[in-house]
Structure 1
């Protein structure tokens, strides 16, 4: 499992021009782009949610859990692109939809269980993600 985290002052995701998920924190929030691979499971999704919730990348070395920062979760299979050979990425390391969708949902649910306000995109949809990266701060989390 890979999560590309961006510290944001706002973020939204649209599908067909309609906003389906949006965060506008009073301070900072997190945009979490989530990629799933073949050996991921619900336990990894839970552990990754805990790692993200406790990650100290907000102002004054605070975590989202410390300040109750909202999180926008967006599925992102392209985090598992293999670009070593040629000019066309291989997506073989990305888990199929039947496996990935429930695990992205499990990740979002685990964040909610920790107390997070969570918004999401739409799995498998063509999405437009808008964000204001604060810092900029972007961190890749892996388990």
Structure 2
């Protein structure tokens, strides 16, 4: 396996990645990583915090495992204990936004790779959170 340990999916960490259907398996592993990256990005989004002050950037699992986690540490945390990044307390400022965002993150990093969202579904959920349709922003009409 190649990749950054911190962002490896549970099935990559425990060696159970289905190489028979490797294209789908790797796509779903990427969705797990996407969930972690989205958590990092949204953790820096000041609009999610009541005081509009977000904490300094940190990667997923930094508090729990430090800057250089080992394969065994990640396997224990992610595979055996099924832990995921913690929810920032201040995100509950907007309950509906919070609920949709958190459900999307949880569905991206589901322990069962077959239960994870597709990347397209994650995109659709996130686009539905925007006050202005993304296609209008991209077209420059707004």
TM-score by length of structure 2 reads 0.24
Higher relative contact order (CA 8 A, sep 6+): 1
- Between Structure 1 and Structure 2, the one with more helix by share is 2
Rg (Cα) greater in structure? 2
- Between Structure 1 and Structure 2, the one with more strand by share is 1
TM-score by length of structure 1 reads 0.23
